[in-house]
Amino acid sequence: MRDKECIFCKIANGDIPSKELYEDDEFKVILDLGPATRGHALILPKNHYANLYELPDGEASKVMLLAKKMAGQMTKKLGCDGFNLVQNNGRAAGQTVFHFHLHLIPRYKDDGQTLGWKPLEPTQEELEEIKKIITE
């Protein structure tokens, strides 16, 4: 389940070195080379899945347990003040490497980073319409 051209397949399976924080049979956790903050890391499945839509349920459930464990350990060791989990799917959502990964981003008071959006102001009718589109 590897893609020969995929950089994260190569990293997750040890063909390219990385700063590893954790490894098991299914996942590797590495430091991001272009970190948003001190300690920014990535959880990579060893199998190649382009994004969340392709990620099987087994890995999907395990990845959140691993994120919880890593967030606890990193918060304790780094002394960060908060923590973001970020996961991008598709170019429109900011994905640049098309092998599923979950960002683990320690946050520090005054770290100068913003992970945000400008809130829209939908009417109750618009919210109801969206609810129907998604659920019906």
Span from 28-36, 43-51, 56-64, 115-123 in contact with ligand 5GP (CB under 6 A): 28-36
- Quick check: is 103 catalytic? no
- The item of ligand 5GP, Zn ion, none sharing an interface with residue 96, based on CB under 5 to 8 Å by kind, is ligand 5GP
CA distances from 31 to 118, 120, 121, 127, 128 (A): 29, 34, 37, 39, 42
- Return the residue of 4, 17, 25, 34 that touches ligand 5GP, per CB under 6 A: 34
Q: How many residues does the chain have?
A: 136
Residue 85 contact partner, candidates ligand 5GP, Zn ion, none, CB within 5 to 8 A by sort of partner:
none
Using the Cα atoms of residue 91, residue 96, residue 97 and residue 103 in order, give the sign of their dihedral.
Answer: negative
The 89-108 contact track toward ligand 5GP, x by CB under 6 A, reads -----xxxx-----------
The SS3 of residue 7 is: helix
Residue 88 found at the interface with ligand 5GP (CB under 6 A): yes
C-alpha to C-alpha distances, 110 to 23, 31, 82, 106, 130, nearest whole angstrom: 31, 21, 11, 12, 36
Task: State phi, psi for 105 to the nearest 5 degrees.
Answer: -120, 105
Segments in the chain forming alpha helices (H): 7-12, 57-78, 124-135
Closer of 33 and 127 to ligand 5GP (Cβ): 33
What residue ranges bind ligand 5GP (CB under 6 A)?
7, 11, 18, 30-34, 88, 94-97
What residue ranges bind Zn ion (CB under 5 A)?
3, 6, 8-9, 48, 99
- Active-site residues: which are they? 101
